[in-house]
Structure 1
Amino acid sequence: MRAVMARFMTRVELHYAPHDGADYEKLHEQMESRGFQRTISSSDATYHLPPAEYYIEGDYSRDGVLQAAKESAQAIGYTVWSPTTTARKTFAAVTSDAPTSTWAGLEKV
């Protein structure tokens, strides 16, 4: 019997960084090196995800996926935001189970 792979959507927001800037390009590289994709596929096509949104599928836990996203942002010099953070480059991240997804308005690859 084939195991069902877990699916997750993760958003990483680099505070005050433009989505088309160099820091996001570095983040994309870090995320992709950890297995994240910036696209999602249906039975008929593959689509680009919104900025700062990532998809990953595999034998992962939600906590492990979030940890990989945090490590990606930290690798490019960002710190997790908190009310007491004094760092200039901060980020926030959220990971959700995504066993099925529905979307509208995404551009085809």
Structure 2
Amino acid sequence: DRGIFRSTVAAASPKPGTWKKRYFVLHQIQACGTYQLSYGDHPGHGIRSKFGNPITTGVSSVERKDDVPKYPFAFEIHTDPGGSTLYLAAENKNELNGWLSLLFEITAGKG
């Protein structure tokens, strides 16, 4: 499974102010519109972990973050109230637009 969208992004770690480069892949895991984010250290390496629960009706919003120093292409994914928030930063504007476009499309009307 190669995923429907793949790119290297910086991901914020639980330690405040710390970002690590990770290779994220968005997979469609069910034909009915359920998706899963997974990541590895590099494109050639295997998947290291899956992020959270599948992306279904639990995603409440995806938004661009313009206030992250050193990361001009940052964005965040919010899940259900009480759920988690994933902070990511694309390497360039095209990658950012690709992520946002796809995430907005798959979460439209689900928040």
TM-score range relative to shorter protein: under 0.3
Q: When the two structures are superposed, what TM-score results if normalisation uses the length of structure 2?
A: 0.23
Higher relative contact order, structure no. (Cα contacts within 8 Å, ≥ 6 residues apart): 1
Q: When the two structures are superposed, what TM-score results if normalisation uses the length of structure 1?
A: 0.23
Structure number with greater Rg is 1
Larger strand percent: 2
